[in-house]
Structure 1
Amino acid sequence: MKISTKGRYGLTIMIELAKKYGDGPTPLKVIAKDNDLSEHYLEQLATPLRNAGLIKSVRGAYGGYMLPKDPKEISAGDIIRVLEGPITPVEGIEDEEPAKQQLWLRIRDAVKDVLDTTTLEDLINHDNDDLVQDAYMFYI
């Protein structure tokens, strides 16, 4: 499964809203500017997220979008499914021979498990220092 810009940018919207959870609505213009993304494209992504109940829109001069529930209650899987569709590594899995079918199902289940157990709260609380500490260091 390849996550497109729809999934990646949709996740960006949701992470930014999670960071501002409880602070009131955030305009997409702010999210677009802060992340160097197209506001128009983010508006297209906001519609399915709103329809799915993952974000709430607020109209008016101080309007924008906000999360309707706590970031720990929204998983990355919720977001990716809305924007990308079902999580499947290959199409036509039922036509594969049993050994291959078993592999594709295990891959699907592993990806689903990661997406469904990673919440927005996990993503906003992720310590970037861990990435630096775990990275390989090369010297020339």
Structure 2
Amino acid sequence: MKISTKGRYGLTIMIELAKNVGEGPLSLKTIAQTHDLSEHYLEQLIAPLRNAGLVKSIRGAYGGYILADEPTKITAGDIIRVLEGPISPVEVIDDEEPAKRELWIRIRDAVKDVLDSTTLDDLANYSGGEQESYMFYI
């Protein structure tokens, strides 16, 4: 399974909205400028996210988008499924021979587990891991 720019940029939109929770609506123009992305492309991605009930649009001069639910309740899997479709490493698993089918099912389930256990809150508050940073002086 390959995640296209639809899924990657859709996650970017949603992470930015999660970081902005409680601060009012965020415009796609702001997100596009922050990440050097096409505003027009983000407009195409926000429609299915809105139709799926993941975001709400706010009209007006200070309008934009907000999350439809708390960041702890929206997973990466929710977003990827809306923008990319079903999560599967191959098109048709049932037509495979048993050994390969078991492999594809295990891969699919592992990817689903990661996506469905990672919330927007996790992504918005990611600090780069628990690795300690060191300063070296020469």
Please, what TM-score do these two structures have when normalized by structure 2? 0.93
Gap regions ≥5 residues in structure 1: 135-140
Is 2:98 the partner of 1:98?
yes
Residue 53 of structure 1 corresponds to 53
Q: CA RMSD in A?
A: 1.3
Q: How many residue pairs were aligned? A: 133
Question: Structure 2: how far apart are the matches of 1:114 and 1:128?
Answer: 17
What's the offset of the Cα at 1:12? 0.1
Partner of 1:6: 6
Deviation at 1:17, TM superposition (A): 0.2
Identity of counterpart residues, as a percentage?
73
1:44 aligns with 2:44: yes
Give the distance between the partners of 1:48 and 1:105, measured in 2 at CA. Answer: 27
Structure-1-length-normalised TM-score: 0.92
**Shift in Å, 1:129:** 5.1
Corresponding residue number in structure 2 for 1:63? 63
Partner AA of 2:8 in structure 1:
R
CA distance in 2, matches of 1:125, 1:63: 24
**Greater helix content:** 1
Give the Cα–Cα distance (whole angstroms) in 1 for the partners of residues 48 and 91 of structure 2: 23
Give 5+ residue unaligned stretches, structure 2: 133-138
Residue equivalent to 1:79: 79
Matching residue's letter, 1:58: I
User: How far, CA to CA, are the matches of 1:125 and 1:60 in structure 2?
Assistant: 29
The one-letter amino acid paired with 1:95 is D
Q: 1: distance between equivalents of 2:129 and 2:118?
A: 19
